[in-house]
Amino acid sequence: MNSTTKCFAMNIILLSFLPILPSSTSIAIGSIKPNQPMRDGDVLLSSNKIFALGFFSLANSRNRYVGVWYNKVPNQTIVWVANRDNPIIPVTDNNASGVGLLAVHGNGGLVIYGKDQNTPLWSANVSVSSPNNSMTAKLLDTGNLVLLEEDNGLSQGVLWQGFDHPTNTLLPFVKLGLDRRSKLNRFLTSWKSQDDPGTGNYGPSGFPQVFLYKGQAPLWRAGSWIGERLSGVPNMPYNFIFNITFVNNQDELYIVDGITNKSIFSRMVLEESGVLVRSIWHDQGQQWIKYLSAPEGLCDEYGKCGANGNCDPSNVGKFECTCLPGYEPKSPPDWYLRDASGGCVRKNEVSICGNGDGFLKVERVKVPDSSKALVNMNLSWKACPQECLRNCSCKAYAKADERWGGFGCVTWHGDLMDTRTFSNAGQDLYVRVDAIVLAQYAKSNGSLSKKGKLAISLVSVLVFLLLVVPISYWLVRRKRKGKQRQNKYSPRVTTRSTYFEDSTAELDESSMHSDIPFFDLTTIAAATDNFSLTNMLGKGGFGSVYKGVLCNGKEVAVKRLAKHSGQGIEEFKNEVVLIAKLQHRNLVRILGYCVQDEEKMLIYEYVQNKSLDSFIFNDTKRALLDWTVRFGIIYGIARGILYLHQDSRLRIIHRDLKASNVLLDASMNPKISDFGMARIFKGDQSDADTNRVVGT
């Protein structure tokens, strides 16, 4: 070997063992290349500077980590950590930083070094497909750190990406689930603590269901995908902000949480306590606002009521656990002590196969754990009961997909675990029971024995002779008075109506009476929990508006006129008749009315997002109204007004259009409401006089 060769070889050896010193100043870089590593203090920014990648330490720790955070959020919010279980240990107590290095080279692809820069602390563990190719690491505006393979500067594809290895945070567009080709399973795991991002005890897994585990034990089950949401998340945010997609094919099985407005920062974090929290960044308030969280209720605990039990949180003052139809507590003494962990077993241990057995419906539930259930997506919903009856091991069935009236069939063939009831959502579960239980439920729904019918008949005759005849005369007179009162307030247009009297428009005879359903006062009181303040949606000059749930589960909005409100009976009749005759997607739909004693109420369809003014005059909600949403609202209001002025059979002027009278549904579609001040015009009429000033 000549002297030149010896000198060159020595230089190589020296370079390989010399420590790479940290830079003295922080540098913002756009990529990491084999000859351009990132040192502790440097920051890798995404193209629009939304996210940043660099070295960081947590509040009460001197250890150094490499991670991604929001660059435009003042309070550093970490969303991904590379070396979460292998931190860079500080050289001395006074020097917690400066020794870290993130480099790209052929052995491992993307590598993190600490003090010993011959032994990596963390590696992406990938290599290029060809020795002639190179690698470049970049940070995308989605927060995804990608390692690209390049051939002479041309990208050959993604070798590795951080989104395939999420930590405790789920960002928009991160796939959660299984890649069947590479066997890669993407899931979240909590941090050990706020000062230690290491792998914690909590993590969701288990598709086609979503589970939250504590160690190896299931803590909460979000359920399986049923078309538009997970079965165990009735309030899943599928609206104008979020766009949730579920994919299940031969290559992949995952759920991805998209966002329609890229200017909104959203994240879902699995906290150290085992709670999954979705939040949105509020720029004006400079804080993260919680959107929803789970688990948060007593019945969210996995298997709270044991096998074949059902947890119902609405059992106020009672034990929340009950057995499913046809089952009874396995250990009654434990059940009385409110310990349902033993679950429920079949009553009488009789056969339920081919002996007159059938199904009983359990409404509004999170269906049982389907880990071992059978699914047939090609089976029609009507064929599902017979499919279950043909198999003696089948214990229950439900719809596989809730869309378009339901299709597909899910059948359970073992214990029914982790069933719970929701207040106003959920699926219908059909539980198989024997002929005896089926008959008992039929009797409880109105079928009586012969002795019972005879006893009731005898009692009825006695009551009629002793009580009914003497008071019948009084009841008839009271009924006549009630009819007179109801006729006085019935929603009909009369020639004495203030609003139609000064209008030159005429209504034909068919419009003189409305076919709107009449609701009894007791029905409305029950639906609104006796007009509870917790159900009040808003309050105006004419009274209050309450949210109600009818006995069939339908949500409604009840406008209750105050007894001394400014809106009189004429305005009330005006609003009922007008809305009943108007049909348009941008006008609120009336479902009925109630006039009883001094009460006057209108029952409307329930609109989820309340009124437009609740968004405009609220700093948090106003941030959600980007130009696309605002334009859609403006366009919808204009279409509604055009319909009133030009396209409807009755030409109507609203006369009280304002933000509080524009309601927004779940998709932010506007609906014009409150027609108490409206006025009808003739088709060829362009102006008219009024007897009084109205509007706001």
Which of 20-24, 454-458, 670-674 is predicted least confidently? 20-24
Same domain, 646 and 521: yes
**Together in a domain, 362 and 425:** yes
**Residue 320 pLDDT:** 93
Return the higher-pLDDT residue of 365 and 511: 365
Q: Is residue 146 part of a domain?
A: yes
For residues 423 and 547, state if they share a domain. Answer: no
Amino acid at 576: V
Q: How confident is the model at residue 323 (pLDDT cuts 50, 70, 90)?
A: very high
Of the candidate ranges 114-118, 138-142, 373-377, 394-398, the one whose mean pLDDT is the lowest: 114-118
Number of folded domains that form the chain: 4
| Rounded-to-integer distance, Cα 103 and Cα 29, Å | 13
Within a domain: 486:
no
Is residue 488 in some structural domain?
A: no
Residue 317, pLDDT above cutoff 90: no
* pLDDT tier at 116, thresholds 50, 70, 90: confident
Q: How many CA atoms, within 13 angstroms, populate the side-chain half-sphere of residue 209?
A: 21
Per-residue pLDDT, averaged over 397-419, amounts to 92
Please check whether residue 481 lies inside any domain of the structure.
Answer: no
pLDDT at 552: 81
Are residues 641 and 509 located together in one domain of the fold?
A: yes
559 in a labelled binding site: yes
Domain match, 560 and 623 both: yes
- Is residue 5 one of the residues assigned to a domain? no
User: Which of 165, 191, 217 represents a domain boundary (last residue)?
Assistant: 165
Same domain? 142 vs 269: no
The CATH number covering residue 286 comes to 2.90.10
* Percentage of the residues of the chain whose pLDDT score is greater than 70: 77
Range in 289-293, 330-334, 491-495 the model is least confident about: 491-495
Q: Average pLDDT for residues 663-685, to the nearest whole number?
A: 77
Question: Does the pLDDT value for residue 175 go beyond 80?
Answer: yes
Together in a domain, 152 and 205: no
Examine the pLDDT at 199 and tell me if it is beyond 70.
yes
| pLDDT tens, residue by residue, 471-490 | 665 565 555 554 444 444 33
The verdict on 93 and 231 lying in the same domain is: no
Query: Once rounded to an integer, what is the mean pLDDT over residues 657-674?
Result: 87
Q: What is the pLDDT of residue 690?
A: 59
Q: What is the pLDDT of residue 216?
A: 86
**Quick one: pLDDT band at residue 16, thresholds 50, 70, 90?**
very low
pLDDT at residue 302 above 90?
Answer: yes
Same domain, 677 and 646: yes
* Helices assigned H by DSSP within 47-112: none
In this prediction, residue 283 carries a pLDDT of: 86
**Is the backbone peptide bond immediately before 208 cis, with ω within 30 degrees of 0?**
yes
Distance between CA atoms of 633 and 639, rounded to whole angstroms? 10
Q: What is the pLDDT, as a whole number, of residue 117?
A: 81
Separation of alpha carbons 581 and 510, rounded Å:
11
Specify the pTM.
Answer: 0.60
- Find the Cα–Cα–Cα–Cα dihedral 516, 521, 526, 529, rounded to 10°: 110
Average pLDDT over residues 157-162: 92
Clarify whether residues 178 and 147 are in a common domain. no
The residues that are catalytic are 656
Distance between CA 512 and CA 506 in Å, rounded? 10
pLDDT of residue 561: 82
pLDDT bin (cut points 50, 70, 90) of residue 629 is confident
Question: Considering 255, 271, 296, which residue would you say is the last residue of a domain?
Answer: 296
65-90 pLDDT tens trace: 999 999 999 989 999 999 999 999 88
405 within some domain? yes
**Region 33-53: what's the mean pLDDT?**
93
Rounded to an integer, the average pLDDT of 111-128 is 88
Look at residue 91 in the predicted model and tell me its pLDDT: 66
Beta carbons of 492 and 513 less than 8 angstroms apart: yes
CATH number of the structural domain spanning residue 519 = 1.10.510.10
Q: Is residue 341 in some structural domain? A: yes
pLDDT tens track for 582-622: 778 888 888 888 888 778 888 988 888 888 988 888 877 88
pLDDT on residue 472: 60
Q: How far lies 448's CA from each of 358, 435, 437, 441, in Å?
A: 20, 17, 15, 11
The 10s digit of each residue's pLDDT in 443-471 is: 665 444 444 444 445 545 554 555 555 56
Contact by Cβ (8 Å): 514, 576: yes
Residue 76 domain boundaries: 21-165
pLDDT at residue 102 in the model = 94
Residue 696 falls inside a structural domain? no
- The partner residues of 294 in beta bridges, in order of sequence, read 276
pLDDT at 284: 84
- Pairing between strand 38-39 and 109-113? unpaired
Domain shared by 208 and 129, yes or no: no
Tell me, what's the pLDDT at 353?
80
Q: CATH number of the domain that 91 lies in?
A: 2.90.10.10
pLDDT band at 626 (very low <50, low <70, confident <90, very high): confident
End position of a domain, from candidates 428, 444, 460: 444
Which pLDDT value is given to residue 471?
63
Q: What percent of the chain has pLDDT over 90?
A: 34
Q: At a CB cut-off of 8 Å and minimum separation 6, what does 686 contact?
A: none
Radius of gyration (C-alpha) of the chain in whole angstroms: 34
State the average pLDDT over residues 110-128: 89
Residues 48 and 147 in one domain: yes
